[in-house]
Amino acid sequence: MAIGEGFRNATIYRTSRVKHSVFVLTENISDEIRHAFKSGRPIVAFCACGIVIRILAPLLKDKFDEPPVLCIAEDGSSIVPLLGGNAGANELAGELADILHGHAAITTSGYLRFGLNLLLPPADLELVNKEDAASFISSLLNGQKVALVGDHQWFHTGSLPLVNDAPLKIVIDDVNKEQNGSPTKLVYRKREEHVSLPAQERGVLTIVGIGSGSPEGITLSARNALKEATDVFGYEYYLKLAAPFLTNQIVHASDNREELARAKAALDRAATGKKIAMISSGDPGIFAMAAAVFETLDQHYSPLWNNVDVRVEPGITAAQSAAARFGAPLGHDFAVISLSDNLKPWKIIEKRIISAIEADLVLALYNPVSRARPTKIMDVIDMLKAHCGAERLIMIGTDIGRSGEQTSITTLANVNVQDITSRSVVIIGSSQTRKFTQSGKTWSYTPRSYPIPKE
């Protein structure tokens, strides 16, 4: 967030017991903290919260005028926003927690419940009636619903209890209108002049394909995108694979099924002028993060994202990596289908598989098994047996390019589904796919030509 930018020019004070000549030595740290607070400067203190509380308590007057004040445990494990929640202290605590791999000890009820701070809107909005916010948020916390009058993407980023009609209202007003607030109505005024940043401050979001994650399989341009990034977003497992290419970037890890939330967070971060790398295994455009980013841009548009240049760095997808181990089974026309039914019904998957078999395409299957669907691959085998001969070639590649890599070429009659895991790619040959053995190595390939059907 914008307030974090000021820490590039932060002054770091030390007492005489801290031996570090680069820091500014002061004999009275309490005076320095009080002076910074009165000047409206954010304060980050590596000390116990009680010390700062006792120093600043006599100065507390208006919470809307307080700068962010945070305390960090000496080992960096906890970051506590003490004051300035309405000036970005919670968000700054989250940012510092990412840097230090610590825990942001946020206690603001509204922020924790709804995932956004209604007192701290984005740069293109201004809250007109701050004095009514406490009563309004209290009503929300007590279970009341809220209606939007007008719209802005920011209000959809958290978990506000939005309905079409409710006693509580959030009004997003045009710049030239006048609205009066009340304890049941928060009024936000649009600031059109803040929609665009200067060209030199434009952010960049690069969706980076890292292939299987092995250093040899990552393209030079993908490596450069990781190197130039200020922040890196991704599923925690893939972030570990990319770790050899990261230096001092801020890392934002998230769970495997949080693609849209991850995309939005990355776009929001890039909108502040940052260079973001979004890590995706394989190729980001194939069952991966590129589609999630563009879906977010299309379906959940925010004007702040106009300041973001989006780029895609391709990677080697799993079907290519596996096929290379076997020879050239994808040497002719082929189809790639995911067996995951998280985002599409199984009936559609069945229809596509049967269509590919009937068209005599080589078929590469992604996500063949999971905890939720351990037997779906058996259903696919049954479909194959109903349409193909027993000698149809099946190739299984597991952990390709990673530790524990395994490959096998078998037939439909002899395939053992126990050899297939969630990290496998299954390639099913067409009627023309062949195998042969040379110098003790068995290869498979699909000829480039296809026999002309008899009339």
Mean pLDDT of the chain: 86
Amino acid in position 137? I
β-partners of residue 297 are none
Dist CA 55 CA 348 (whole Å): 65
Convert the pLDDT of each residue in 317-359 to its tens digit.
Answer: 999 999 999 999 999 999 999 999 988 999 999 999 999 999 9
Q: Which residues contact 343 (CB under 8 A, 6 or more apart)?
A: none
Least confident of 14-18, 77-81, 308-312, 357-361: 14-18
The DSSP bridge partners found for residue 347 are none
Extract the tokens encoding 210.
Answer: 């890292």
3-state DSSP helix/strand/coil % of the chain, to nearest 5: 35, 25, 40
Tell me the three state secondary structure of residue 12.
coil
What domains can you pick out in the chain, each with its CATH number? Answer: 2-107 (3.40.50.11220), 125-194 (no CATH), 199-316 (3.40.1010.10), 319-445 (3.30.950.10)
Q: What is the DSSP string of 360-419?
A: T-EEEEES---SS-TTHHHHHHHHHHHHS-TT-EEEEEESTTSTT-EEEEEETTT--GGG
Which secondary structure element, helix H or strand E, spans residue 353, and what is its range?
A: helix 346-358
pLDDT tens for 11-56 read 788 777 777 666 777 778 888 898 888 878 889 998 889 999 999 9
Cα 172 to the center of its chain, rounded Å: 28
pLDDT one-digit tens code per residue, 190-222: 876 544 445 447 899 999 999 987 888 899 999
For the stretch 237-246, pLDDT in tens is 888 888 888 8
Confidence of residue 180 (pLDDT cuts 50, 70, 90): low
Q: In terms of DSSP bridges, do strands 327-328 and 362-366 run parallel, antiparallel, or are they unpaired?
A: unpaired
